[in-house]
Structures are given as structure tokens and as C-alpha cells.
Structure 1
Amino acid sequence: MSNNDTNKRPAARKPVVLMSMGTQERKGHAYQVMTHKYITPLAEIAGCVPVLAPSCCGVDDIDQYLSMVDGVYLTGAGSNIDPALYGQKNKTPSKGQDKERDLFDIPLIRAALKRGLPLFAICRGMQEINVALGGTIHQKAYEVPGLNDHREDSNDPVAVQYADSHTVQALPGSWFAELMGDAAFPVNSLHGQALDQLGEGVEALAHAEDGLVEAIHLPGVEQFTLAVQWHPEWQAAQNPHSVKIFKAFGDACREYAAQRD
């Protein structure tokens, strides 16, 4: 062994973050999937190690999953949450659902909160948190009087779909406004559904120009909690606000890991 080898210190353990996958059918086969755009900023900006959990295997192993990780990250998806989970009939039957993910993520959220794990969520994940805590969803936010149409045009190129669409106003004086460093900042917008009645303990951190809730947290719990309706994962490294969000989550996971060691 050379002197250089003996002087090397072992690399610091990175925090491990659980990501639940979704169900997708391809040519008659059921797949569990996760989009690269969600994984890469977690690894490259937050500095965490992703662990992908299949939602198709049920909930029996949730506690074991959570015992191995330092944070939970709930992503967006093309599917809607089953409205029966918040006491409504389905008003968008043509839109795909992923009931396996619904039935996995809702108990996952509740268990993660009990464990004190840092929690970060995007788009569908934000809506899952609200439903898990007893809140409801605007199934057709674009038909709600006073709200704008926050959907993307599926005929546009992907880069256009994910381009900045409107401004978000952070809650003045909040830790989120301080983190972002701006009272208002531009975000993309690719969702037909949105938060309606907020769940127990859920508090808005930011709103769109039309008043729609764009970010939430749970001020009654000690751990880091943040969920946003837009997509900060899109080209995150080129967006200073996205970088701040992923770094803050990564730092929270590192703090949790350090306390556990």
C-alpha cells in the first residue's frame, strides 16, 4: 500500500433517500418506472443516494424501507390520485390513475412523518401529502372560477412545456422566502389538478398569481417538509431556485443521517 493510499480518508457516507416508483403498462407488461429528470438532481445537487421502492409490492415493507433511509422524495407523475381517497367521484375518467402508488405513498407519508424523516415532494407528490393528511384536490383546476389554466400544451416541444409560465409569490417572512431569496420568482406549470382544502397541519408557503397554492409545508413537525406544485427538477442545475431547493433538502437529509449515526 502506498503512502498516498494510507493518507486517503474514506468518503463520507451520503444520505439515502427513498423514491417510490409508479406503474406503467408497456406492450401488455406492467413496469415500475421513475423518470431520470427526478433522480439526477437528487444525486447531483442534493448529494444523496436514491433508493427506488416498487409500489406494486404493497405496504408491508414500508417500515423496513424507512429504517434504511434519511429522507423521502415524492415525485410527479402522469397519473392522478384516485378521488375516492378524498371522498369524491372521478371527474376525469379519461386520465390515467396509479392506485398502487396511491396506496403505497399515503401510508408512506404518514409513516415518514412519524419517524421525523425529511420530506420533499413535487406536483403529484404534493397532492399526495395533502390527501394523506385529509385534504382535497381540485380535479379540474382549470374550471374553477378565478383560477387560470395551469396545464401545458402537449403539442409543444418538451422544452416549451417546461419553460417558465407564471410567477410564484413566496409567503412574506417565511423560511421559504428567505431560502429562495426573492419575493416572487418564475416557475413552469404542467398540472390540471391542484390543492383545494388543505389537510391537517398543511400550510401554504407560496401562491400563484391567481391564488392557487404552489408550495406547502408542515410547520407543526420538527423535520424539513416542503412540497411544490411546479417542476424544479427540470434542468435543475441551470435554475438557481431549483438548486436552492434540492440543496436544502439534501442538507436536511445529511442532518438527519448525522443524528442517526
Structure 2
Amino acid sequence: MSNNNSAKNTSAKCKPVVLMSMGAQERKGHDYQVMTHKYITPLVEIAGCVPVLVPTCCGIEDLEQYLDMADGVYLTGAGSNIDPTLYGQENLTPDKGQDRDRDLFDLPLIKAAIARGLPIFGICRGMQEINVALGGDMYQKLYAEPGFNDHREDSNAPVDVQYAASHSVRLQANSWLAKLMQSEEIRVNSLHGQGVKTLGKGLESLARAEDGLVEAFHAPSLSPFLFAVQWHPEWQAAQNPDSVKIFQAFGEACRQRAAGPAYEMAC
């Protein structure tokens, strides 16, 4: 084996391993576990991590074994909503799909990952899962709440239009995120009908939309790196400097975790 190949293999072995929980999807009478390509690509190409796709349909019996191999946890968006009974509300959107298997896997996953000090990054549904896991609740119909804008995409528009930047978010002054972005305001896309109502225990807002909705949070009292956003930085991430910074920061946190327990990050 050549030295170049040896170097490549050594480099590959050193990449941090990140768990990605999959979701349920029914196709022609068959139940699938799925993960969208757009979420995987920036984790590999920008964050420099190795994804391990975890099925959520088999319960949590093997949860700790999955975590034993992990240097981070990445909770993605999905087309389903969290079961509102898990945060003490009746279901106000019965026409919207749910994925209770993912709910019942990811909420314990989040708590166990925090207990281990693993870096956690959540997007959209993933952000909402973190909030619910830590005792927060949600606006189920954000678009019907007085004082809030309609944050949903136009389902009839082309995908590129749906995922285009549509509003600004104001970043908490002098925060980790503002320093990372080198700005106190950025433009983001918006494709969600629900939103954070009450923040879970230990969570602190990092960014808010123009209508005051929490668009990003972290938990510096709970974890060296626990960060989540309501928008979709994974969409064409390599072409968006803000998204690149976010995925690089998560990747670096996972690399520090993989290097040993004595890492710290001011997140």
C-alpha cells in the first residue's frame, strides 16, 4: 500500500462519528426508514464527519451502544410534527403527519447525549425535539398566533424558491453565534408551521426572527456544544457562507470530542 493511501486511510479513521436518527416513511404499502441526502452531504463535506444512520423504529434498547460509537449527534428536520401529548397539549394539527417512533427515540437520545457531553446540532424538527426533551413546548399553529408572521413556505413554489432566504434573524449581541457569523443579523430561509413557545430548561435564545420567534438556541449550562436552529442551513450549504461556518463549528466540536474528554468550547 502506498504512503498516500495509508495517509488517506488514517485520516478517514480519525474523522468523528456522528449519529443521525432516521424517520418513518410509507411507500406503496411498505414502511421505510429514511434520511434526506441534503442533510448528509454537509455533514460529510463541510463538517468532515462520518454519519451513522440510526433507525428509530426498533425502540431504544440499543441506544447506549449507538452512543458508545458517537462523537456527536445531529438531529435533522423532517416532514412530521412531534406528538403534542409529549409536551402536554392536544393535537391541533391532526391532518399533519407524526412520527412517534422518532419522538420516542430522539427525546431519550438527546438526554443521554447531554449526559455524556456529546456535541448536539439540531435543525428545524431537531431543534423542536431538543426543546421538548428539555421540558419546553411549542406553538402548533404559529401562523395562527397573534403577533407572529407566517413562517411556512409556499408549497406551490419551486424548491429553490421555497428554500431561498426570506427573512432576517437578529443574533444575540456578543454571543457565540454572533461572533461565529461576524454579524448580529443574518438572512435565513423559513419552512416551518410550528415554533418554540417556551424554552426548555437550560436553553438560551441565540437568535430571534423579526416577529420575536426564537430561531436559534444553545445550552451553555448543560453542554460544551448544544446548538439548534429553526431554519435550514443544510440547503445548498456549501454555497452559503453562514451555513459553512455552522457546519464547520459542529465538525470542530465533534473532532475535539473525539480527541478526548478534556475539550471545551465556548458555545
Aligned to 1:219: 220
Aligned to 2:23: 22
The question of whether the paired residues in 1 share the 8 Å contact of 2:114 and 2:223 is answered with no
CA distance in 2, matches of 1:242, 1:135: 26
- Unpaired segments ≥5 residues, structure 1: none
Q: RMSD in angstroms over aligned alpha carbons?
A: 1.4
CA distance in 2, matches of 1:151, 1:29: 29
Aligned to 1:105: 106
Which has the higher mean CA deviation after the structures are superposed, 6-15 or 111-120?
6-15
**What secondary structure, in the 3-state scheme, does the structure 2 residue paired with 1:11 have?**
helix
CA distance in 2, matches of 1:211, 1:18: 32
Provide closer, same or farther for how the CA distance between residues 64 and 91 of structure 1 changes in structure 2, counting only shifts above 3 A.
same
* Paired amino acid for 1:5: N
Please list the CA deviations of residues 194-216 of structure 1 after superposition, one character each: whole Å capped at 9, or x if unmatched.
00011110110000000000001
CA distance in 2, matches of 1:260, 1:207: 33
How is 1:146-185 mapped onto 2 (pairs within 5 angstroms)?
146-185=147-186
Provide closer, same or farther for how the CA distance between residues 158 and 63 of structure 1 changes in structure 2, counting only shifts above 3 A.
same
- Unpaired segments ≥5 residues, structure 2: 263-267
How is 1:1-261 mapped onto 2 (pairs within 5 angstroms)?
5=3, 9=7, 11-12=10-11, 13-259=14-260
Shift of 1:223: 1.8
CA distance in 2, matches of 1:56, 1:8: 38
TM-score normalised according to structure 1 size: 0.97
CA distance in 2, matches of 1:68, 1:25: 29
**What secondary structure, in the 3-state scheme, does the structure 1 residue paired with 2:198 have?**
coil
Shift of 1:227: 0.2
Identity %: 69
Could you list the structure 1 runs, at least 4 aligned residues long, displaced by more than 3 angstroms after superposition. Answer: 4-10
The question of whether the paired residues in 1 share the 8 Å contact of 2:20 and 2:53 is answered with yes
CA distance in 1, matches of 2:87, 2:26: 26
CA distance in 2, matches of 1:253, 1:7: 24
* Paired amino acid for 2:106: D
* Paired amino acid for 1:46: A
**What secondary structure, in the 3-state scheme, does the structure 1 residue paired with 2:170 have?**
strand
**What secondary structure, in the 3-state scheme, does the structure 2 residue paired with 1:106 have?**
helix
Aligned residues: 259
CA distance in 2, matches of 1:150, 1:194: 9
* Paired amino acid for 2:3: D
TM-score normalised according to structure 2 size: 0.94
CA distance in 2, matches of 1:191, 1:98: 16
**What secondary structure, in the 3-state scheme, does the structure 2 residue paired with 1:220 have?**
coil
CA distance in 2, matches of 1:140, 1:250: 33
CA distance in 2, matches of 1:114, 1:120: 15
The question of whether the paired residues in 1 share the 8 Å contact of 2:119 and 2:223 is answered with no
